[in-house]
Amino acid sequence: MLELEKLPAEKAHILQNLYPCYLHDLSEFQDTLPNQHGLFESDEVVSYDKETFLKIWWRHPDQLFPYIIRIDNRPAGFALIGTKPYSGDSDYEIKEFFIVNPYRKKGFAEQAALKAFGLFNGKWKCAVLPRNLPACSFWRRTISKITSSNYMESQEKTDDGEMVIFRFEN
């Protein structure tokens, strides 16, 4: 059974533990290597400081929404959702989305994304690395389901580089 749990600050360690797996997965599409300390970060980062790493997600509780995806009560991924000013020209944005490998290609990611989109009504945005073809296909398929294929897709230059941007309203 899949659940989307809003993650309270006292459970931030769950996101902190899963996040390096996400960065590892992204490295395939960004051609990044671990730094001299074994992290997919700049060389100045020696370890993930539990006091500051990802803490922004709990500093703005009305604008940033960290969710853990649980499958059979086990942490299986996350959906990080932002709203203005973190969502740019949209009401909401999937800032980061991740499912661990054992749960991929089994419908769980789609189920989690649909639950996430159901949390808030408005204009949504999701940005994907253009080289991440599996993610692009996933978002096309998933967003098509909830919008009856009524969405916009474009390639745009962002602060994070060139991205494929999906926009829709629910």
Q: For 6-30, what is the mean pLDDT?
A: 93
Is the confidence at residue 144, as pLDDT, over 80?
yes
Please tell me the distance from the alpha carbon of residue 107 to that of residue 68, in angstroms, as a whole number: 16
Distances (CA, A) of 95 to 34, 66, 102, 133: 22, 10, 22, 18
| Token reading at 68 | 């853990």
CA distance 75 to 135: 20
Mean pLDDT (the chain, rounded): 93
Spans of all domains in the chain: 2-126
Q: What's the CATH class of domain 2-126? A: alpha beta
Cβ(125)–Cβ(158) below 8 Å: no
- Asked if the model's pLDDT at residue 45 lies above 80, the reply is no
Mean pLDDT of the region 111-126: 97
- Which residue has tokens 């001299």? 36
Q: What's the whole-model pTM score?
A: 0.92
Percent of the chain scoring above 70 in pLDDT: 98
